[in-house]
Amino acid sequence: MAVRQNRSSSEWQKLDREHYLHPFTDHKQLGEKKSRIITRADGVYIYDADGNKILDGMSGLWCVNAGYGREEIVEAATRQLQELPYYNSFFQCAHPPSIELSRLLQEVTQPQFNRVFYTGSGSESIDTMIRMVRRYWELMDQPDRQVIIARKNAYHGSTIAGSSLGGMKAMHAQGGFLLPGIEHIEQPYWFGSDRSMSLEDFGIASARLLEKKIDEVGADKVAAFVGEPVQGAGGVIIPPDSYWPEIERICRDHGILMVTDEVICGFGRLGRWFGADYYGVQPDLMTFAKGVTSGYLPLGGVMVSDRVGSVIIEKGGEFFHGFTYSGHPASCAVALANIRILQRENLVEYVANDIGPYLQKKWRKLAEHPLVGETRMVGLMGALELVRDKKTLERFDEDDSVGTVCRDILVNNGLVMRAVGDTIVVAPPLTLSHAEADELIDKAWKCLDLTQAAVK
Ligand SMILES: *Cc1c(COP(=O)(O)O)cnc(C)c1O
C-alpha cells in the first residue's frame, strides 16, 4: 500500500493545512474550516474519511461521466502500465493505445475531424489550439490574423493562455500581463440580462456582438472565435438555440475559424457526443479533456479538422509544439476503455432520451421554491438562480454569500453541487439512475429550505 490509509481525518487535515497548496483556494480560510478528506468513490457516490456518503452532483469536476468504480478502466490502465508505462510520440514513434484512440475519436466526432493532437489537460489543449490557430493563418499567408475572440465569464483553463482567453475578471486581476491579441464579448446570459427580449432574439443579438467586434478589430486581423457550447464554470450559461448557428454564420462570413471548447460538453454531457453536435454547428477545432477519460487519468487534446490539418501538414513543416505526456499510453488506454463504456452502455442516448429529460423535469419543479428565480438544464448540466425576491427576480448582494451558504448546507446533507456566485450548478455522472435523480432533487429541495431559514 503506497498511501497510508490509517490516519484519522484530523491528522490528514493538519498535514493538508501545513503542506498542500490547493487549486483555486483561499488557504487562510481553508485553515479555519478544514478540508473534507475524500477517501473512496463508487457509482455516483463519494465517501469521506468521517464515513459520510455523498451524492456527487458534480461528477468530480465535471469529468467522471462514466461514474466511479469502473473495473474495466482500472484494468485497462493496469495492463498498459505493465506493458508500456511510458513512451513519447516525438521522433517518429507512436504506440498502439494512442493510435487506437485517435481512430476512435475520429469515429465519435463530426466528419471534418480526422486528426487529433494530444495534451495532458484542458488548459494545455487551449494553449495548443491558440498556437495552432495562429500557425494556420501564418501558413495561409495572412499573418495579421492573430486576434482570438472569446466571451466574458468564459472558462478556458488556468495557464497564462487559458486564463487570458477565459473571461474571468478575478483571474485577470491577478499576476500582471495577460496574453496579447485576445478580445472578449458579452456572454449569452439571458437571466443576467434585463430580460426584455425573447430568448431567440436575445440569442441572435448576443451572437451579433461577435460581428460588431470583428468590425471593430478588422476582419483581416481576426483569427478565430472560441466558446464553450454551454459555459460550465461560469455558471452553466445555456445559450438560446439561435445563438450558435448565428455565431457559425458570422465566422463563415468573415472567414475566421470557429472553435468549440468541449472540455465539459464533450463525451455525452449534453446528450450528444459533443456540444457542437447538440447545437448543430461544425467547428474547425474542438478542445477536449475531462470526460475523455472520465477523470481516471489526465488527458486532453485538440480535434483538428481537415481545413486546418491539411494546411499544417502540407505547408507547415515541423510544428514546434508538444508535451512530454502528449498521447500518454496509460491515459490513452483509459480513454479507450471509457469511450467504449459510453458506447456499449449507450450512455449518450440515455442522457438524451431517458435520464436527461427525467432530471430536467424534476429540476424545473425546483423553480417553485421561494428562493429560486430560474432553473435551466440541458442534458445533465444545469443551474438554478438563488434570488432575494421571486417576483422581481431581485438578486442577493454581490458578495455571493448565499450561494456559499447553500453549497455548504448541500454537502453537509449529502449532495455535492457547486456555487458560482448565487448560481447553484449541477452536472452528475451520466450513469445517474432514476432513484438517484429523485434523491438529488429531494436533497436539493430540503437544502433550499434550510438555506432560506439560514439567510432569513
Ligand atoms: C476545466 C476546463 C478547462 C481547463 O481544463 P484543465 O484540465 O483544468 O486544465 C478548459 N476549458 C473548459 C471549458 C473547462 O471546463
Sequence ranges of the domains in the chain:
36-69+346-455, 72-344
Give percent helix, percent strand, percent coil of the chain, each to the nearest 5: 45, 20, 40
Counting from 1 in the atom list of ligand 1, the atom nearest the Cα of 159 is 9
Average pLDDT on 83-106 reads: 96
Does residue 121 have its Cβ closer than 6 Å to ligand 1?
yes
Tens of pLDDT, residues 382-395: 999 999 999 999 99
**The total number of residues written for the chain in this structure:** 456
Q: Quick check: CB of 127 below 6 Å from ligand 1? A: no
Mean pLDDT of the chain: 96
Query: Is residue 122 lining ligand 1, measured as CB closer than 6 Å?
Result: yes
Q: Cβ–Cβ contacts within 10 Å for residue 80, how many?
A: 24
**More confident of the two residues 1 and 237:** 237
Per-residue pLDDT of 164-175, as tens digits, reads: 999 999 999 998
* C-alpha 155 to ligand 1 mean position (Å): 7
The residue ranges of DSSP E strands in 390-427, in sequence order, are 394-395, 415-416, 418-420, 423-426
What's the confidence (pLDDT) of residue 34? 86
Residue 303 in 3-state DSSP?
Answer: strand
The pLDDT, as a whole number, for residue 456 is 79
> Separation of 156 CA from ligand 1 center, angstroms?
5
**Per-residue pLDDT band at 308 (split at 50, 70, 90):** very high
**Is residue 1 pLDDT above 60, yes or no?**
no
**Cell 478540508 belongs to which residue?**
35
Q: What is the pTM of this model?
A: 0.97
Please check whether the two domains, 36-69+346-455 and 72-344, share a CATH topology. Answer: no
Architecture of the domain made up of 72-344: 3-Layer(aba) Sandwich (3.40)
| CA dist., res. 120 & res. 328, Å (int) | 8
Task: Concatenate the DSSP letters of all residues of 240-278 into one string.
Answer: -TTHHHHHHHHHHHTT-EEEEE-TTTTTTTTSSSSHHHH
The rounded Å distance from CA 122 to ligand 1 centre is 4
**In angstroms, what is the span from residue 277 Cα to ligand 1's centroid?**
19
Cβ atoms of 409 and 453 closer than 8 Å: no
Compute, in angstroms, the gap from residue 105 CA to the centroid of ligand 1. 19
Mean pLDDT of 233-248: 98
301 touches 106 (CB < 8 A): no
More confident residue, 28 or 186: 186
- What's the pLDDT tens digit per position in 136-168? 999 999 999 999 999 999 999 999 999 999 999
Measured from the CB, is residue 129 less than 6 Å from ligand 1? no
Atom in ligand 1 nearest the alpha carbon of residue 61:
1
**What pLDDT is attached to residue 429?**
98
Measured distance CA(54)–CA(22) in Å, rounded: 21
Does residue 156 line the site of ligand 1, with CB under 6 A?
A: yes
Q: What is the Å distance from ligand 1's center to 321 Cα?
A: 20
- Rounded Cα gap, residues 138 and 223, in angstroms: 10
Is the per-residue pLDDT at 427 higher than 80?
Answer: yes
The closest-lying atom of ligand 1 relative to the alpha carbon of residue 157 is 4
Sign of CA dihedral 350, 355, 358, 364: negative
Instruction: Tell me the CA–centroid distance for residue 72 and ligand 1, in Å.
Output: 25
> How close is the Cα of 442 to the center of ligand 1, in Å?
30
Tell me, using a 6 A CB cutoff, whether residue 384 lines ligand 1.
Answer: no
Say if ligand 1 is within 6 A of residue 214 CB. Answer: no
Phi, psi (rounded to 5 degrees) for 42 = -155, 130
Of 3.40.50.300, 3.90.1150.10, 3.40.50.2300, 3.40.1260.10, the CATH number of 36-69+346-455 is: 3.90.1150.10
Confidence class for position 184, pLDDT limits 50, 70, 90: very high
Taking only the tens place, the pLDDT of each residue in 340-368 is 999 999 999 999 999 999 999 999 999 99
Which residue from 156, 265, 425 has its CB within 8 A of the most atoms of ligand 1, so it is best to mutate? 156
